Amino acid sequence: MMKVLVSDSLGQGGMDILRKEKNLQVDERVGLKPDELKKIIGDYDAILIRSATKLTADLIEAGKKLRVIGRAGVGVDNVDLDAATKRGIIVMNTPEGNTISTAELSFSMMMAVARNIPQADAHVKKGEWKRNKFQGTELNGKTLGIVGFGRIGREVAKRAAAFNMKVMVFDPFISKEAVKQYPVEFVDVPALLKNSDFLTFHTPLTKETKGLLNHETFKLCKKGIRIVNCARGGIVDEAALAEAIQNGQVAGAAFDVFVTEPPAADNPLLKLPQFICTPHLGAVTQEAQENVAVDVAKQVIDVLNDRAIRNAVNLPNLDPDTLKGLKHWLVLAEKIGMLYSQLFSGSFKKVEIRYGGDPTRFNVKPLTMAVLKGLLKPICGDSVNFINALAMAKERGISITESRSDENEGFTSFIDVEVVQGKEMHRIMGTLFSNEPRIVRLNEFMIDVVPLGWVLFVKNDDLPGVVGTIGTVLAKNGVNIAEMSLGRVGKGKRAYAMTAINTDSEVPAKVVGLIKKNKLVIDVKVVKL
């Protein structure tokens, strides 16, 4: 008899499915404190959670029998994925269960901010009836700007069409051909801000999307724009939004998410009558809760009964022998994808992957999934996993090719990834040194980089003094160098160098700016691997 622990409230449909399994003992223990959970987690083969339970590394280590962690919802930031992966524990989420609920909330918020519904409701309940205070605007004929055109963004677009709205979209990672059935116009950010009467976000919070709307970009917005954010707090700079509302650039805003939740009492947005908000209700519908509960229950049951693995965020579906042979290569493959996505911004249409040596003893499809997961993570957030990465890439019109090669450039085993981005092509190659992942090529540069933690990449003219300057700047600002690798191409005045530096902490933006001031420096990037 296998044991399953449910440590957060789960929809009844999911509980019913679990309890119907004759080979499962299901214990519902909601509200356990970390020390209480630690005492019992070692008895269970699976644990089902929502957002309340925080599965830290020590709790995962205590789960000696754990095979699977099921998250009823999308975000898995309450699970230490590295710790779970090291233990071979499958972590799975339910990325599709709240699509409709979030799309509907976004549209509801848009209508509420257009017609001042919450303000008018409060007004009447105070015994007043001054209709002229709440003149709104129609959606009919207006332009809706959508940032992010994944599942939720597309559902919002469908509803906008029913309201006779013109829809403009910014999503550099979506192929127009892949979504040609949608009557939308793809534009860049300046055009989106200039033309949108309403603007809604459906993208994860990444380095690229953080503060997408800020003091400067608000100046580009159409005067009187109304803004909806039911995606992630931090995409919109909250202080900048408050200022934009006060000076009349923004007519109103409706948020379901904040940088800090709940928002602090002194958050300037909460004092503005043009701002309406809800307490992160995107997935809080009866239907969404049932959907994710049912999905996670079925997924966990399948894993425990050695059937299909769906929506795993950290491990593909592999038998034990294959997993043992590929697990270090899987880490490397995902790191290559993550490195590319942070070094080279913009859309890409083609990914070519060559495998050589040791990985070719196995089915390389899981490695391809890992590369794609790393590539798509900044675009799709926690919704991308080992199982759906290929489908999500194809959904975006990205072509993927795999090949096996004996051309090793000095390495007996390797993963070599080329990504076509417009008229450019970028190449990243990696291998294992004693089972430790290494990046050994970045475009034309041969390097030796441990893809772990914070890494600073500096490209410069290969002339004396640059490395010394970098080291001095880092030292003066308290950034410690853990490892360093140098690569060089060309000769004489046409020689270029690439310096890759592992640091013990993130390199602050101001420090990056100081490094860029060196006239010999061509480019500087900081990545987190």
Catalytic sites, residue numbers = 232, 261, 280
Residue entry with tokens 């700016």: 513
φ and ψ at residue 508, rounded to 5 degrees: -60, 155
Could you give the CA distance from residue 189 to residue 198 in angstroms, rounded to a whole number?
14
Could you give the CA distance from residue 46 to residue 4 in angstroms, rounded to a whole number?
5
Residue entry with tokens 């793809």: 186
Structure tokens at 76: 């898995």
φ and ψ at residue 224, rounded to 5 degrees: 90, 10
Could you give the CA distance from residue 459 to residue 399 in angstroms, rounded to a whole number?
30
Find out whether 70 and 26 touch, Cβ atoms under 8 Å: no
Residue entry with tokens 């772990």: 452
Find out whether 398 and 348 touch, Cβ atoms under 8 Å: yes
Q: Which residues contact 299 (CB under 8 A, 6 or more apart)?
A: 70, 92, 94, 309, 310, 311
Could you give the CA distance from residue 139 to residue 141 in angstroms, rounded to a whole number?
6
Amino acid identity at 77: D
φ and ψ at residue 421, rounded to 5 degrees: -125, 100
Q: Are strands 445-449 and 436-442 parallel, antiparallel or unpaired?
A: antiparallel
Query: Which regions of 274-413 does DSSP assign to beta strands (E)?
Result: 275-277, 350-356, 399-404
What single-letter DSSP state applies at residue 312? B
